[in-house]
Amino acid sequence: MENVALVVGARGVIGTNLVEHLASLPDWQVIGLSRRGGVDVPGRVRHVAVDLLDPDDTRTQLSKLSDVTHVFYVAYQDRPTWAELVAPNLAMLVNVVDAIEPVAHGLRHVSLMQGYKVYGAHLGPFKTPAREDDPPHLPPEFNVDQQRFLEERQQGKAWTWSALRPSVVGGAALGNPMNLAVAIAVYASISKELGVPLRFPGKPGAYDALLEVTDAGLLAKATVWAATSPAAANQAFNITNGDLFRWSELWPRLAAWFGLEAAPPLQMSLQDVMADKEPLWKQMQAAHGLATTSFAEVSSWPFADFVFGWDYDFFADSSKSRRAGFHEYVETEQMFYDIFAELRRQRIIP
Ligand SMILES: NC(=O)c1ccc[n+]([C@@H]2O[C@H](COP(=O)([O-])OP(=O)(O)OC[C@H]3O[C@@H](n4cnc5c(N)ncnc54)[C@H](OP(=O)(O)O)[C@@H]3O)[C@@H](O)[C@H]2O)c1
């Protein structure tokens, strides 16, 4: 049977890889939603530009998408505070479900992308390993509000929901506020250009904390698995690469990939030290014959500062997804090398 995926947030770190993965599967058609739209792949991927914060635009743009069978919600609106994230991120999900339910009579599943914010991981040291059934924490928390909305809306319906909880996601997409691997790649490339060794810029305690990340390709496979497996219906799953690391061990290896020495850590805000680097970035593009990617498109500096500030363990138990049937894993060190190599192949970095 042909499935029709509506990927909501198709141009994100997560959405880009999900669209690619779905388009590689034999029995899926993909419709991608974002404000900026994208390049269609005839017969497989169609992009629709829509502002999901606008309920009328959402209803109009989605009114003809009657063949959608699966909604994959991976959209995100960034805001400066945790409290401010709630209203726009809940509104976008509600607008999509309000618009698609009345027209897509064959709707079978709504998949929700979450993260460790459900566990309070962004607030400070949290219980590790975090488990899907850990007790909740005080609001505001948009991930929790989104899940509650889906749980309530699904009652008595023919469709099911699932929720995915990745750690920090590694992917090679551009123009995203939360892209750690791209931030490391550009930080390393600029360090190399300036002839300085690669220093871990995070909090001193973050260098030795135990953490994990989630490859965007692995996450895409898990997302489709959860959306199509009866054993995963109406549940949430932690999805991780399957290995743990400390920056103290990985950082020198990442430096070596760029042909750099790793010097001792030095805490600094990347947002501050990168603020004057746009002219240098342009010079590097000319000198190395790079693509003309804007500095803004590769600047996830506040997010990188945030991740490098975690001076506490940051990991979850992902055995629930394995028990339910998802058995893929990715080696984290290799994941970073693969993303860096892809950025080099696309001439984003030298
Ligand atoms: N990145 C990570 O490391 C990470 C880790 C764990 C969990 N998560 C969670 O995963 C979810 C997705 O994250 P992400 O990093 O993939 O986000 P992202 O890179 O910022 O992508 C967000 C997507 O939403 C679209 N979008 C935003 N506002 C829109 C609007 N008004 N109308 C239509 N489309 C809109 C964006 O496209 P346009 O800008 O073109 O509209 C983009 O396609 C979030 O809930 C996030 O918290 C992310």
Q: Which residue has tokens 């992917």?
A: 171
| Tokens of residue 181, six digits | 């691997």
Quick check: CB of 15 below 6 Å from ligand 1? yes
Quick check: CB of 113 below 6 Å from ligand 1? yes
Q: Which residue ranges does the chain devote to CATH 3.40.50.720?
A: 3-168+214-239
Classified as helix, coil or strand, 213 is: strand
Low-confidence ranges of the chain (pLDDT < 70): 1
- First-to-final CA distance of the chain: 44
Quick check: CB of 35 below 6 Å from ligand 1? yes
Report pLDDT for 338. Answer: 98
Specify the residue with its C-alpha closest to ligand 1, atom 1.
178
Kindly give the residue spans of alpha helices, DSSP state H, lying in the chain: 13-24, 55-62, 82-100, 142-154, 180-193, 216-228, 247-257, 270-273, 278-288, 301-307, 319-324, 332-345
Report pLDDT for 1. Answer: 57
Quick check: 134 and 119 in contact, CB under 8 A? yes
* Residue among 48, 57, 146, 178 whose CB has most ligand 1 atoms within 8 A, to mutate: 178
Tell me how far apart the alpha carbons of residues 286 and 190 are, in angstroms, rounded to a whole number: 14
Closest atom of ligand 1 to CA, residue 75: 24
Quick check: CB of 159 below 6 Å from ligand 1? no
Tell me how far apart the alpha carbons of residues 50 and 30 are, in angstroms, rounded to a whole number: 16
Specify the residue with its C-alpha closest to ligand 1, atom 37.
34
Closest atom of ligand 1 to CA, residue 180: 3
Quick check: CB of 14 below 6 Å from ligand 1? yes
Which listed CATH number (3.30.565.10, 3.40.50.720, 3.40.50.300, 3.30.1330.60) goes with 3-168+214-239?
3.40.50.720
- How far away, in angstroms, is 215 Cα from ligand 1 center? 16
Specify the residue with its C-alpha closest to ligand 1, atom 33.
34
Quick check: CB of 169 below 6 Å from ligand 1? yes
Distances in whole angstroms, Cα of residue 33 to Cα of each of 6, 12, 117, 227, 317: 7, 10, 24, 18, 31
